[in-house]
């Protein structure tokens, strides 16, 4: 029936303005399960250090929730955390996810004095993706770079890098993250002018295959071409 709820798929995620709205049920792509406090951070401040930064259509949601009463936002967070019903087996993989994140963040950026990480089998990532990552991303997204002023969420823990499709990561690499005018917030430059479509494809594929234990994406190229031109600031 039109407009009816599909209860079997509750919180299963979907599409919002060409972004992927990630699942909030047991299919959540987040490597670390969300706690109620972390959901609160994300909804209230647009940022959680173990999951990522609100972007795309979520920016407006966070701006609106900033005006809501704090108890109400907390109540939403508690409710969502409860509905996520993450299976217990996920909990014991926390250490593993953290260890993987630490390894990938701190080891091996070619050219930064260590050996390159071998590409994982079945992937499409190339040397050109590694070179773009090193020249464009590693100054910030590399824990060995020793920059205390920029503390990004480790890529291996972010939802966009671990999501079932590359759309959200492409949006962020292309447009960057900009706080609303006059507001404080996380900032990342976009690379729409700096990188061609092919280079965006290369770096997005490289980031997926280096920082996620999920299978490689094979639809990066179509999505880069579809998203090109929708930059927003």
Partner 1 sequence: MIELNVNGRPQAVDADPATPLLYVLRDHLALNGAKFGCGLGQCGACTVMIDGKAAFSCVTPISALPGRKITTVEGLGTADNPGPLQQAFIDEQAAQCGYCIAGMIMRAQALLEANPSPTDDDIRRHMMPNLCRCGTHMRIVRAVQRAARTMKNVKNGAGVNVTTK
Q: Which parts of this chain interact with partner 1 (CB under 8 A)?
A: 110-111, 128, 131-132, 134-137, 139-140, 147, 150, 176, 178, 181, 187-189, 191-196, 199, 233
Nearer of residues 144 and 164 to partner 1, judged by Cβ: 144
In angstroms, the CA 184 to CA 17 distance is: 25
Nearest-approach distance from CB 3 to partner 1, in angstroms: 38
- A 10 A CB-CB count for 189 gives 14
For 187, other C-beta atoms within 10 Å of its C-beta total 11
Q: How far is the CB of 163 from partner 1 (least distance, A)?
A: 24
Please say which residue, 33 or 152, places its beta carbon nearer to partner 1.
152
Nearer to partner 1, 90 or 128 (CB): 128
Backbone angles phi, psi at 189, to 5 degrees: -70, 150
**Minimal distance, residue 195 CB to partner 1, in Å:** 6
Shorter beta-carbon distance to partner 1: residue 118 or 122 = 118
- Measured from the CB atom, the residue of 184 and 233 that comes closer to partner 1 is 233
3-state secondary structure of 92: coil
Q: How far is the CB of 41 from partner 1 (least distance, A)?
A: 23
Is there a contact between 169 and 204 (Cβ–Cβ < 8 Å)? yes
Q: Given 3-state DSSP classes, what are the helix, strand and coil percentages for the chain, each rounded to the nearest 5? A: 45, 5, 50
Q: How far is the CB of 127 from partner 1 (least distance, A)?
A: 8
At residue 179's C-alpha, the angle toward residues 175 and 183, to 5°, is 165
Helix ranges (H only) for 85-163 are 88-91, 94-106, 127-132, 159-162
């Amino acid at each position: 029936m039109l407009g009816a709820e599909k209860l079997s798929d509750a919180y299963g995620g979907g599409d919002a303005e060409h972004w992927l709205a990630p699942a909030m049920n047991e299919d959540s792509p987040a490597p670390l399960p969300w706690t109620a406090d972390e959901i609160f951070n994300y909804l209230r401040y647009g940022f959680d250090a173990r999951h990522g930064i609100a972007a795309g259509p979520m920016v407006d949601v966070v701006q609106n929730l900033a005006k809501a009463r704090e108890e109400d936002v907390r109540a939403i967070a508690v409710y969502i955390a409860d509905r996520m019903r993450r299976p217990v087996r996920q909990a014991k993989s926390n250490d593993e996810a953290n260890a993987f994140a630490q390894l990938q963040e701190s080891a091996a950026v070619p050219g930064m004095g260590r050996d390159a990480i071998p590409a994982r089998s079945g992937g499409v990532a190339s040397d050109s993706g590694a070179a773009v990552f090193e020249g464009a991303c590693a100054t910030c997204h590399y824990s060995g770079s020793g920059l205390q002023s920029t503390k990004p969420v480790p890529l291996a823990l972010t939802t966009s890098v671990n999501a079932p499709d590359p759309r959200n990561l492409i949006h962020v690499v292309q447009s960057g993250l900009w706080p609303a005018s006059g507001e404080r917030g996380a900032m990342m430059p976009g690379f729409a002018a700096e990188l061609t479509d092919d280079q965006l494809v290369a770096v997005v594929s490289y980031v997926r295959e280096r920082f996620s234990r999920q299978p490689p994406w094979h639809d990066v190229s179509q999505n880069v071409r579809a998203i090109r031109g929708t930059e927003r600031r």
